[in-house]
Amino acid sequence: MSKDQSVPKDGQDGQDEQYMEIALELAREAFQRGEVPVGAVLVRGEEILARSYNRREALQDATAHAEILALREAGARLGSWRLLGTTLYVTLEPCPMCAGALVQARVSRLVFGARDPKGGAAGTLYNIPGDPRLNHRLVVREGVLQEKCAALLREFFQARRRAGGGADTADTAHT
């Protein structure tokens, strides 16, 4: 196995927490724009390949989740859809679509903050990154800055309820 394709190890010296802080910043930016606050960062080695946040409302695109946008940005930047050796940091557990996309893109490692009881596909409702029937698996670490990630989502939905948001207010999954 070449160096480039080896699975990145668990972040040393709080590295996972540092990248998750960046993902949280991006989630806050989504919040300010009225989007469900989910942020993502894709990293290889020391290099950040993509920074993104959920833009479903801005783009009126059901697939414009933070993870998908990060994969697109990194693929365009590298000129390759194969993202072996990368780690995706995301504030909320990926949905089935995004977990499937991470497998498709051959991302090596997934680090997420809060679990998503209504849509999580990295261990909660499904375990797509760890399914041995698929041709690629990811190493998963969960719970990094979990409380901060979950608090931001709670705050968003509370604010939306106060503002008298419609029937969608119970939609705690970003999906």
Instruction: Enumerate binding residues for Zn ion (CB under 5 A).
Output: 65, 95, 97-98
Integer angstrom CA distances of residue 53 from 4, 5, 73: 26, 26, 12
Length of the chain: 175
Least separation in angstroms between residue 174's CB and Zn ion is 6
Give me the residue label for tokens 């991470």: 102
Q: Which is nearer to Zn ion, 14 or 58 (CB)?
A: 58
Q: Which is nearer to Zn ion, 36 or 98 (CB)?
A: 98
3-state secondary structure of 165: coil
Q: Has 147 been annotated as catalytic?
A: no
Least separation in angstroms between residue 98's CB and Zn ion is 3
* Whole-angstrom distance, CA of residue 90 vs CA of residue 24: 8
Least separation in angstroms between residue 171's CB and Zn ion is 13
Query: For Zn ion, which residue has the nearest CB?
Result: 98
Contact criterion met (CB below 8 Å) for 146 and 153: no
Catalytic residue among 21, 67, 142, 147: 67
Which active-site residues does the annotation give? 67
